């Protein structure tokens, strides 16, 4: 079954389900209402006939002197039975009277237009003879349905002495005809409703699935390499609309990621190419004969050494960035922060180039962090503070506790950054305008690396800076 269903499209399967549900509910409701109408007709017909029969029988019992059990033997004759059966027979119904042996002793039909009585059914006759009052059943006369009911004859109501049974029958042809007309009308109406309903349902399902089809077409185009493609969504409120929206959002993110990846590779190549080009230039000069000039050789070698140092540093930083993409490279250990910062201050003095490092001591605390990464973070931030602030100005290092995190900051009194630089500082290879920088030019990888190192340990980083007023870099680490 599953295998067969899988061959059909989702639309066909949903359509089939919808059609089955619609057909079965409509058929059930129609059948139920048909059955109810039929019951109603039968009940009203029976009660009408019974109500008519009762006073006639009562009257007959008195008239024929049958109200006394002792006189029954004598007075219940063919003749008296014929009177009763004729009284009860009309154009609608025919009555016959049976004695206790089940023999028909009188038949009320006189005229050809009066209905023909069906042969008595001994099963029901015996039940009536045993005293059951409300016996009603269906039978057939010449292939036409008739409704039959039996009334036991007793001298007094409630008497145990039953001396005969009256069988009254009436044709059901009229009810059949009415119900047939009603039924055919209902079947036509149901067929029209079903056809319209199924067509509408199929159209509605198709409409809902259109967005899914669009989505899969877009996926195929993106797979072919057209990253600018997005899927169009008409109905944005339903689940498919939400799926398409999420899909577009995901592709936006992926496109950004791919683009930044491309930028990264291009920038990295450029960053490596610059010192390599410098090296090639120096080597060419040397090869053209400059090696005979000791002064030129010395100058070129120094330049080449600087370029190689720069190459190694950039490669180191790039390696660091790629290593941090795998969080298993973070080895957390317990660190007493106060001691760690004091050690770092000692080592940082060399880097600070005579600037004063002011420590704004926070609470005594220990945290779980990777000491190498923490040292590298502080080192990068300190080197930026030193590089981008004038000689003689202090660098401030401090920390405080925020809930389950420690916030550490490094602040300088340098020239600060404008908003444009601030918006891009964490991008790899991004460098600000940096005029009058102390020391050599950086690759623009320091803050990108720092951010990765902070985030690899579960922390966050932000920068506050106003041009001319210095910069403060804050980062948090979980305790």
Ligand X SMILES: Nc1ncnc2c1ncn2[C@@H]1O[C@H](COP(=O)(O)OP(=O)(O)OP(=O)(O)O)[C@@H](O)[C@H]1O
- The residues near 194 (Cβ < 8 Å, ≥ 6 apart) are 19, 22, 23, 26
Q: Is residue 421 within the footprint of ligand X (CB under 6 A)?
A: yes
What does 431 interact with, of Mg ion, ligand X, none (CB < 5 to 8 A by kind)? ligand X
DSSP alpha helix (H) spans, 64-172: 69-75, 78-88, 122-129
Q: Is residue 446 within the footprint of Mg ion (CB under 5 A)?
A: yes
Piece of the chain touching Mg ion by CB under 5 A; list 23-31, 164-172, 376-384, 448-456: 376-384
Interface with ligand X (CB under 6 A), residue from 165, 205, 324, 385:
385
Which strand (E) or helix (H) includes residue 171? strand 164-171
Question: 74 to 133, contacts with ligand X by CB under 6 A?
Answer: none
Q: Read off the tokens for 295.
A: 């002064």
Interface with Mg ion (CB under 5 A), residue from 414, 442, 459, 470:
442
Q: Is residue 376 within the footprint of ligand X (CB under 6 A)?
A: no
Q: Is residue 267 within the footprint of ligand X (CB under 6 A)?
A: no
At 2, give phi and psi (nearest 5°). -55, -45
- The residues near 230 (Cβ < 8 Å, ≥ 6 apart) are 218, 248, 251
Residue 445 Cβ vs ligand X, minimum distance, rounded to whole Å:
4
Interface with ligand X (CB under 6 A), residue from 139, 218, 231, 471:
471
Residue 230 Cβ vs ligand X, minimum distance, rounded to whole Å:
33
Residue 473 near residue 344, CB atoms below 8 Å = no
Interface with ligand X (CB under 6 A), residue from 99, 159, 214, 434:
434
How many Å apart are CA 250 and CA 283, to the nearest integer? 49
Q: Is residue 348 within the footprint of Mg ion (CB under 5 A)?
A: no
Short-list 214, 183, 264, CA closest to 444 = 264
Q: Is residue 425 within the footprint of ligand X (CB under 6 A)?
A: yes
Residue with tokens 């120096």: 282
Short-list 382, 347, 341, CA closest to 364 = 341
Piece of the chain touching ligand X by CB under 6 A; list 105-113, 260-268, 329-337, 424-432: 424-432
Piece of the chain touching ligand X by CB under 6 A; list 24-32, 51-59, 88-96, 384-392: 384-392
How many Å apart are CA 356 and CA 14, to the nearest integer? 75
Residue 383 Cβ vs Mg ion, minimum distance, rounded to whole Å:
6
Interface with Mg ion (CB under 5 A), residue from 85, 384, 457, 476:
384
Q: Is residue 446 within the footprint of ligand X (CB under 6 A)?
A: yes
Residue 9 or 260: the one with the smaller Cβ distance to ligand X is: 260
Q: Read off the tokens for 436.
A: 């009058």
Spatial strand order of the sheet with 104-107 comes to 104-107, 93-99, 164-171, 144-153, 135-141
Q: Which residues of this protein are in contact with Mg ion, per CB under 5 A?
A: 384, 442, 446
Q: Which residues of this protein are in contact with ligand X, per CB under 6 A?
A: 384-385, 388, 412, 414, 416-417, 421, 425, 430-432, 434, 442-448, 471
């Amino acid at each position: 079954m599953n295998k067969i269903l899988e061959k059909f499209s989702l639309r066909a399967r949903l359509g089939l389900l919808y059609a089955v549900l619609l057909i079965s509910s409509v058929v059930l409701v129609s059948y139920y209402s048909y059955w109810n109408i039929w019951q109603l007709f039968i009940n009203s017909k029976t009660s009408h006939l019974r109500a008519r029969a009762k006073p006639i029988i009562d009257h007959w019992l008195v008239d024929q002197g049958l109200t006394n059990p002792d006189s029954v033997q004598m007075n219940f004759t063919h003749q008296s039975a014929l009177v009763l059966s004729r009284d009860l027979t009309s154009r609608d119904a025919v009555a016959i009277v049976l004695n206790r042996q089940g023999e028909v002793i009188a038949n009320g039909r006189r005229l050809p237009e009066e209905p023909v009585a069906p042969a008595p059914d001994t099963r029901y006759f015996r039940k009536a003879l045993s005293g059951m009052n409300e016996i009603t059943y269906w039978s057939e006369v010449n292939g036409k349905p008739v409704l039959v009911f039996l009334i036991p004859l007793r001298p007094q109501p409630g008497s145990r002495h039953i001396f005969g049974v009256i069988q009254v029958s009436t044709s059901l042809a009229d009810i059949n005809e009415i119900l047939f007309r009603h039924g055919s009308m209902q079947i036509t109406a149901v067929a029209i409703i079903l056809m319209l309903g199924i067509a509408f349902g199929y159209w509605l399902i198709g409409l809902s699935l259109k967005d899914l089809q669009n989505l899969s077409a877009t996926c195929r185009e993106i797979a072919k390499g057209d990253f600018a493609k997005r899927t169009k969504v008409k109905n944005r409120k339903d689940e498919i609309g939400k799926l398409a929206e999420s899909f577009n959002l995901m592709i936006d993110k992926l496109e950004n990621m791919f683009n930044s990846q491309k930028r990264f590779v291009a920038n990295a190549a450029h960053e490596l190419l610059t010192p390599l080009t410098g090296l090639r230039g120096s080597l060419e000069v040397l090869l053209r004969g400059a090696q005979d000039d000791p002064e030129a050789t010395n100058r070129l070698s120094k330049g080449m050494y600087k370029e190689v140092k720069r190459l190694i540093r950039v490669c180191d930083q790039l390696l660091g960035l790629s290593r941090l993409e795998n969080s298993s490279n973070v080895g957390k250990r317990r660190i007493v922060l106060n001691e760690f910062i004091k050690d770092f201050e000692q080592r940082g003095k060399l880097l600070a180039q005579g600037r004063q490092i002011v420590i704004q001591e926070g609470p005594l605390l220990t945290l779980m962090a990777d000491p190498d990464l923490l040292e590298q973070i502080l080192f990068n931030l300190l080197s930026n503070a030193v590089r981008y602030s004038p000689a003689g100005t202090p660098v401030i290092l401090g920390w405080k506790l925020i809930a389950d995190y420690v916030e550490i900051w490094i602040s300088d009194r340098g020239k600060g950054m404008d908003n444009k630089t601030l918006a891009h500082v964490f991008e790899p290879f991004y460098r600000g305008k940096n005029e009058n920088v102390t020391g050599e030019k950086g690759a623009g990888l320091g803050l990108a690396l720092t951010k990765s190192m902070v985030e690899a340990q579960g922390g966050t980083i932000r920068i506050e800076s106003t041009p001319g007023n210095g910069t403060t870099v804050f980062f948090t680490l979980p305790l």
